[in-house]
Structure 1
């Protein structure tokens, strides 16, 4: 196979040293700059959350062919038959692989195939041919690679082009699955040339340079809770009772910023509607749920508060029907010693699942302290539960960090709550950014008219921090949704060495 041309050369620190193991050919002379390689395989899953979306919400499938395979349980893909060259001067490995991968969903309107997958350690990238609507684009860069000496478990970062292929701009710069390039079957060992100083087959340099610093987007760490509240097992210093009923309160939560962006500005081309006592901050910001009721006990450091309001995410309209119509309501927070859970009612195709535990909560303090008859907790970490992942179609995996939770509850009727404006609005939506009062008025962000506060959920929340596909879609199987950059692709075989 001809060597890969560098379409998007990336700066690596001098020459990247790689160990090719038993499959590398010893360079027998200084003039032999390139040595042939064969029998390699490339193992890469693209991105786990994308695979879950395709086989889950999109009700689609992956079909490897022509020598490509997929691991069990919707695992990573292997492209075999890798051939190419090793450059002993630059230590660059360039390999092309046999096999193709068809990715299709009739429900979400895409049918794509990747073929002629290639790896170039010098350019530090993975490329593939992508055929869309009958037109083939050769050598589309799918991921930047942090090349390592062993070429196993290498970090990958999805490119802008990959985001287009996969159907969501939010994939650009997101961390992909790790990449491994290894020789499948060591060649039959042949005698070393007479007079060879060593039978070693590794062409690695004697003084390798450090691998290129990783450029992959690392997962956002769970935000640490602010220390505005300090542990206390005593009653409020103002003389408030240590336990009783909650008089009022607000809950600030954005669900997930990347999901809001996906709905308003992404492929969903939709809108977000807060109603029934909930509001949304301008600029496609966070939501505020109001009129808390429940109980507290500052001695036991326990609290349970339910909030009014609903938020509806709607998008992917096709012929008057919506592929995405998700409503969360009846939000409740329960804490005990600084940890607890967030529950909500989830509306799905006319059927409501009540009290779904969406997130595990972890506050920055184990104690509850009332100041001026108000208990406030800011930046409470929220991590998706197994039940929450199932409720959202399995797109987010258990443990995904959602937006942090801000909580304030009043312990008396005359207590003054902090300003509950739904936050500063960290979303990037470009809709009208409406907000309603705490009554029945609803606010809508994005295009269209005010949406209903009920709807169906068959979709997944878009992936953690940056990996929103064309997902979060739901509707009856008869509804065909044109999701983002869905493309029809055909297998295209290319040159062989």
Structure 2
């Protein structure tokens, strides 16, 4: 795993911890500060969901599961995880707090071939991080840093950023530096609900700081110190009333059905079907393509939606396969996209897919950064509609496509139509104009694709070949290296040059 450097947030975290604990709480310990550097703490809970899109992936595409054990639990509807019986101490000299929690979480998918377990989850405000022992393939690595934490006074809904180590643990390079789920650390009161919102709101009693010395460890609670806060933020996580979004639609819950309409890139479709590739486009597993080599519609969207938080995560069924450059029964282009997923938070987000090219697969490749016209996710008649969501190719997408598209290239916009209840009817039927585009002379035959990664392929023509990947558009095309036929295709306005596999040497 990568070597970790000490974060520059340590001083700020210490200040936040000191503010959270408060001078009143420290005074109740009943001993001079010089002899009370370590204040013992017990009975805490840590609630963290890792990352919502990761949970959706595990239980959705990967057909896997989360299994809490040893006291840990998971909220309903594939929600966040809570680890319990946190113990540790507050350093009144350094003004930092460290806690370890009981509970384990097993994450596994037989379909995608992974199994791991998190245990001994710890939160350290000095290091401003979450760590855990991680067991994979029978080997346990202790104290793996999973997320950096922006420590706050209330210690509720603290922002987290996934680490490079977390990306390795959870199997996606795109997670490194990505926003994780919010983190809450709170003391669990007797008879109190285990939910973090209840823990936070129940600590605002002004009488708790007057506890006798016998309960000193409890009085040093960061959640109780909210009584000294000038703002009522400690009770904020309780959330709005159920009617906050009016009667138009549920403010949060599962997505019952949905459609995603996306054309990938128009110039690419043109190149495959009508350009030098002389190929064809085929859709399957419920996907459809509009007539005239139009855009694609992916169906059976499932996921979660929260109007108040402005978030959604939806995964769609359907496969689209591009084939072209047929030589001797083989294709130089054989690209498949499936398992498309859209994640939005505050109007921005990402599009991921499993991308298959020439027999190799990259799962959950982040193809595009997304931006909607509005962050508003309020539905009407239980239908949420988002039109013309812009899609910009990411660096990972450019790498997945062999480097011929440059990061920042505009892809086709996306349209989303999501039903938030089982009885809500999605409008229209989407773009159901046919099962695939029409091909040129090389556009027939072959299956709908194989499984694999998008790192293979070479660009070329009948007169030459160069190494490469998928395709490129615009002025960045290295025309001189592409060979005569490909260069002519660009000059003719196809706007895209496709990677072609080197022809086998005849024996």
More relative contact order, 1 or 2 (CA 8 Å, 6+ apart): 1
TM-score (norm 2): 0.46
More helix by share: 2
